[in-house]
Each structure stands twice: as C-alpha cells, then as structure tokens.
A and B are shown apart, each in its own frame.
Chain A
Amino acid sequence: DVVLTQTPVSLLISLGGQASISCRSSQSLVHSNGNTYLHWYLQKPGQSPQLLIYQVSNRFSGIPDRFSGSGSGTDFTLKISRVEPEDLGVYYCLQRTHNPWTFGGGTKLELK
C-alpha cells in the first residue's frame, strides 16, 4: 500500500499567520492517465472531514483562496495563509491514484 507521511504532526500557529503542511508519498502519485490524485481534507473537532483541495491544487467549491495546494510526484504541500479560528483541526492528505486509497496520518493545527 502507498504510505503517505505528513509533517509536522502538530502545528502551533498564531491567528493571521501562515501554516504549511507536507505530505510525502512512498510512490509517485501520477496516474497512468496523467492526473495526480492527491487531495486534502480538514476535520474540525467533532465533525466529519471536509474536502479542501483536490488533484493537488484545485480548491473545492466554497473553499477560500487562503488555502492552496502544490506539489508533484511524491511531494505535496498544503499552505494556509491568514489562519482563522475556523481553520483549526486535523488536516489529512488522501491519495486515490493507487488501490487501496490511503490517508496520511494527519496534522493537527492549533492556536499558539
């Protein structure tokens, strides 16, 4: 199975600051069709995960442009600028290029 390693495990950020989360894959996530199926989710406390970014860099409907994704191959990054209170929670990356789909271990974003 593809292993996704997220770093850091936890992140202390001040309101208005910038956060950066890394997701590294044990295999290339480029599909045979040329697409890269790496997505990012946020799970707020007590809630279900919500989709933020799909296919590396595309913001899902309603997601503010403070969230941005980048990367290629095996290295991917989620950046959150101007952190707001509603951004707090656990962030997960997900790959669906290879079966079975796998998630990263999560990064907890907390206020400093």
Chain B
Amino acid sequence: DVKVTQSSRYLVKRTGEKVFLECVQDMDHENMFWYRQDPGLGLRLIYFSYDVKMKEKGDIPEGYSVSREKKERFSLILESASTNQTSMYLCASRGERTFTDTQYFGPGTRLTVL
C-alpha cells in the first residue's frame, strides 16, 4: 500500500528558528512535492523535485528551501521561520511509471510559528 509519512503532525516554533519538515515515501516515486494549505487560499505549491538532487520552484518558494539527497526523502526547510509561515504543510509524491498525475499525500504537518 502506498505510504507517505511526515515527521511531525504538529510543530510549534519561534520566529527566527530554522525549521526542518521531513517527508518520506516508500513507493520509489521520482516526483515529490511540498504544498502549504491556508484557509481561503487552498493548496499552493512551494517546491517540487523530479529526481534526487533536482528541484524546481513552485508558486510560492520565497522563504523556503528544499533538499532531496535520497529518492525517498524530501525535506522542506524554513531558514528563519516567520509568523506568516504558520500553516498546514502537505507533502506528496507521484511515480513516473504510473502514467497518471495522481499524487499521494502525507497526513500533513500543522506548523505554528510564535
């Protein structure tokens, strides 16, 4: 069965802290994605990766960076957390060989920046 896991369900950090959100998938998928979800704004793509060490900016990359050193793991980094980064963060993955665009999502991390 498809599985995408995220390191934390809930996280509370202080302004200025460096924050790491981890995502792991066990489906050998090539593509991985990070979204943030805010009320009234829906899901917005932050970054995605189509291969190890490869990344592309999404629609709202400012204030974020990513790392993909291994195929199964995609990390989202907030270099200096700010209160406007308080949000629900969702990771997803997609396989090249499926020939569909279906994405599989993790359970989400609700991040609060104080």
A, B from the same assembly: no
By a beta-carbon cutoff of 8 Å, the part of chain B in contact with chain A is none
By a beta-carbon cutoff of 8 Å, the part of chain A in contact with chain B is none
